[in-house]
Structure 1
Amino acid sequence: MTRRSAAAQTAVGPMVVAAVEHHEPPERRLVDDDLAASFLPAHLRALAALARTEAVRRALMAGSERQGPGLWPSIACRKRLIDERLSDPLNETDAVVVLGAGLDSRGCRIARHSDLPVFEVDLPVNVARKADVLRRALGGTPASVHLVPADFERDDLMGALRSAGYDDTARTFFIAEGLLQYLTPDAVTATLSQLGGAATGSRLVFTYIRQDFLDGTDTYGADAVYRRFRGRRPVWLSGLVPERLGEWLAELGWRLDEQAGPSYFRDLYIRPTGRALTASPIEWTALAHR
């Protein structure tokens, strides 16, 4: 299996988390995504259906915790944070661009109540799979959702977007959720640098893996995750340093607004549910603007 195909296969994991979380009672739910289950492959749709039972949900989360402590809550909380920032009524947005969209349902959820254009960019294999999923689950791709095949390592990202109908003068909400760690450092810099030429008023939200985890300096108790993604054939290739993020983004044309790590998710999302969960320190979410 090539590194790119291995990266492409990771698209389902976050959607399993969202699908299972949707079976939690509303007051205990970390993220609300009623389309997530329908976007999964058949065997995982069946698993998500079983998660209507609390004991199954607890077993699935326990298995995740053994592999990577806190990653389940982190994935759920980052999704909720992005949804909230995108739906903020003070956020004036003309278009949404989802980078490394995978099986994400965000664009289709937007399309149910808005004709805001959404451009979903991913590897060609993922885009083809997404088109098949949308035909099965929704009868087709919503008119406002545009699937854009592109390889972030090789292709001209903005050129691919423009070819799909994107207006680069539009105030854009860019989302790179669970993407940057799969790119080489050069591709990460090139991607965010290209986005740095977006219209004034554009916003960017992205997740990243800490550089000290990537280096193996501190695995934060997630040794199994480190072996899986940084072992003999590394799949995670890039990390960032939280304390240096603002300076780095400024060089690429972005101004850092805030970062969300485990304590942020604990206080804002986890504690109100009453669930005894802890978010992982290895992944952070950052928000910036133009």
Structure 2
Amino acid sequence: MAHNPAAQTAFGPMVLTAVEQREAPERRLVNDDLAFAFLPAGLRAVVSATRLGLLRRLMIGATERSGPGLWVNLACRKQFIDEKLDDALPGIDAVVILGAGMDTRPYRLARRSDVPVYGVDLPVNIGRKEAVVRRVLGQAPPSVRLVPVDFETDDLAAELARAGHRGDQRTFFIAEGVTQYLTADAVRTTFEYLRAAAPGSRLVFTYVRRDFIDGTNMYGARSAYRRFREKTQLWQFGLDPAEISSFVAEYGWRLIEQAGPDYFLRHYVGPAGRNLTASQLEWTAYAEKT
């Protein structure tokens, strides 16, 4: 498989999610009983060591030094998306996950629903995902379909249609940890595709703040800036929380709510009794197609 720097980032959030499962159920920020199994052997060994509370705290601390609050943001955004999907599930006909990575959500959903789920990602990640699913589950559930797409060059609508998705289906679209890796043109092209979504569809997406992308505000995450902007330039696109409502409205969507640091602390960290901060760097938006 060809090397792709963006594709290499697929495992990080799953390591974090798997580590969270080592916490007592009432202290977890996200619930995902498949995360550990979906990791390669080397990363499973690392996560296994975090059964010890001290090592778990050391791992969280290392992440916090890279970007204070990002542990909370990455964990809580997953829980937020799961909850919104659960709430919307009775009124949707399909789920499309853009930039699916190693996300286990389609396979957890398939245990309780036969709604079709389309996992869209770079071809290299689709190949990895297929191998992981064979190893962990034996075979993919019939409701889950993996769709290889390069958002910069491929026709998303055509590839999804080829996989069986219909434009008239009320669809729950998820773009978690995706937009910052795309050029502005690719983001606009993706949202142009979303303009045609059926009324009643839902969309949840995460974004990095534009003032971090342009270097005017580090949000305490200078290490992350050096890694994703200066060394690799993997992160290319950002938005501002104040403009999200008008941004999605341009494509026919109505913003329902946004989850930023205050939301995550109030809804997840506080009830879990965890002494952690959340970052202003990344936000999650939830919208409905009008």
Normalising by structure 2, report the TM-score. 0.97
Alpha-carbon deviation of 1:233? 3.0
Report what 1:92 is aligned to.
91
Q: Give the 3-state SS of the residue equivalent to 2:37 in structure 1.
A: helix
Report what 1:258 is aligned to.
257
8 Å CA contact 1:193–1:253 kept in 2: the answer is: no
Q: Give the 3-state SS of the residue equivalent to 1:23 in structure 2.
A: coil
> 1:1-290, aligned counterparts within 5 Å?
5-88=4-87, 92-290=91-289
Q: Give the 3-state SS of the residue equivalent to 1:142 in structure 2.
A: coil
Q: Show CA shifts across 1:7-40 (max 9, x none).
A: 1000000001110001100111000000001101
Q: Give the 3-state SS of the residue equivalent to 1:280 in structure 2.
A: coil
Unpaired runs of 5+ in structure 1?
none
8 Å CA contact 1:261–1:285 kept in 2: the answer is: yes
8 Å CA contact 1:15–1:103 kept in 2: the answer is: yes
Which segment is superposed worse, 199-208 or 48-57? 48-57
Q: Give the 3-state SS of the residue equivalent to 2:5 in structure 1.
A: helix
8 Å CA contact 1:107–1:118 kept in 2: the answer is: yes
Q: Show CA shifts across 1:234-266 (max 9, x none).
A: 000000011111111111121111111001101
CA–CA distance in structure 1, aligned partners of residues 54 and 139 of structure 2:
35
CA–CA distance in structure 2, aligned partners of residues 253 and 11 of structure 1:
30
Alpha-carbon deviation of 1:193? 1.6
Alpha-carbon deviation of 1:95? 0.4
CA–CA distance in structure 1, aligned partners of residues 239 and 88 of structure 2:
30
CA–CA distance in structure 2, aligned partners of residues 89 and 230 of structure 1:
36
8 Å CA contact 1:119–1:148 kept in 2: the answer is: yes
Provide the identity percentage: 58
Q: Give the 3-state SS of the residue equivalent to 2:6 in structure 1.
A: helix
CA–CA distance in structure 1, aligned partners of residues 90 and 216 of structure 2:
38
CA–CA distance in structure 1, aligned partners of residues 218 and 228 of structure 2:
12
Alpha-carbon deviation of 1:89? 5.8
Unpaired runs of 5+ in structure 2?
none
CA–CA distance in structure 2, aligned partners of residues 194 and 203 of structure 1:
14
CA–CA distance in structure 2, aligned partners of residues 13 and 245 of structure 1:
26
Letter in 1 for 2:87: D
Q: Show CA shifts across 1:183-211 (max 9, x none).
A: 00010011012012111100000000000
CA–CA distance in structure 1, aligned partners of residues 100 and 117 of structure 2:
11
Alpha-carbon deviation of 1:91? 5.1
Which segment is superposed worse, 75-84 or 110-119? 110-119
CA–CA distance in structure 1, aligned partners of residues 277 and 97 of structure 2:
27
Q: Give the 3-state SS of the residue equivalent to 1:88 in structure 2.
A: helix
Alpha-carbon deviation of 1:232? 3.8
CA–CA distance in structure 2, aligned partners of residues 196 and 93 of structure 1:
17
Letter in 1 for 2:149: A
The count of corresponding residues between Structure 1 and Structure 2 is 288
CA–CA distance in structure 1, aligned partners of residues 89 and 121 of structure 2:
29
CA–CA distance in structure 2, aligned partners of residues 144 and 56 of structure 1:
38
Alpha-carbon deviation of 1:90? 7.1
Alpha-carbon deviation of 1:132? 0.4
Runs ≥4 residues deviating over 4 A: none
Q: Give the 3-state SS of the residue equivalent to 1:98 in structure 2.
A: strand
Letter in 2 for 1:66: R
Q: Give the 3-state SS of the residue equivalent to 2:131 in structure 1.
A: helix
